[in-house]
Amino acid sequence: MTESPFAPRGTAAEIEEGRALAPKFDKDGLITAVVTDAASGDLLMLAHMNAQALQLTIETAQAHFYSRSRNKLWKKGEESGHVLDVTELRVDCDQDAVQIKVRQSGPGVCHTGRHSCFYRAVPLGGDKGKGVTLEFVDAERVFDPAKVYEKK
C-alpha cells in the first residue's frame, strides 16, 4: 500500500466530530461502501473501496470500487455501461464506512439482473437456521445479465 491520501486518524473526538476525512481502511486496505438510490432511498448494493477507489469516486462523482474477487479497481458500469452517478457521499461516525447516493444510468445494479442486490427476505420469528426458507421480493429481472456482461 502507498501512503493514504487522506488525513491521519486522530482521537475519537477528531474522527467523530471533526471535519477531516480520515477513513479507516481495514487490514486489506478496504472500506465498506453502502450504495443507496438517490431518488427512492432504496438500498441497492454493498461494495468495497480502497483508497484509490474512494479518491476517484470523490474526484469524478462516479462510483468506483475495489473488487475483492478480481483484485482490481473497478469502475461500476465499465462493463455493463450501468454507471452510477454519485449525488452525495457520506461518511459514518467512526469513518469506517461510507454511503453513496446514486443516480443509475442503467436499470439495476445487481449482477443477477435485478434492481437491487437485496431481493430475498428472511422470515422473522419462526424457524431459524437450516429451517429458514427465503422469500423472493422485488426480485424481477430488469435486465439480462447474459447480454449485459461478457461471459466470465
With cell 459514518, the residue in question is 92
Ranges assigned E (strand) in 38-83 = 43-49, 64-67, 72-75
Instruction: List the interface residues with a second copy, window 79-98 (CB under 8 A).
Output: 86, 88-94, 97-98
CB 84 within 8 Å of CB 35: yes
- Residue 7 contacts a second copy per CB under 8 A: yes
CB 25 within 8 Å of CB 51: yes
CB 64 within 8 Å of CB 89: no
The closest alpha carbon to 108, from 66, 142, 78, belongs to 142
Q: How far is the CB of 96 from a second copy (least distance, A)?
A: 8
Total interface residues for a second copy by CB under 8 A: 55
Among residues 65, 74, 119, 143, the one that binds a second copy under rule CB under 8 A = 119
- Residue 36 contacts a second copy per CB under 8 A: yes
What is the enclosing helix (H) or strand (E) of 83? none
Q: How far is the CB of 84 from a second copy (least distance, A)?
A: 13
Task: Point out which residues bind a second copy (CB under 8 A).
Answer: 5-7, 16-21, 32, 34, 36, 40-43, 45-46, 55, 58-61, 86, 88-94, 97-99, 110-112, 114, 117-125, 128-130, 132-135, 137
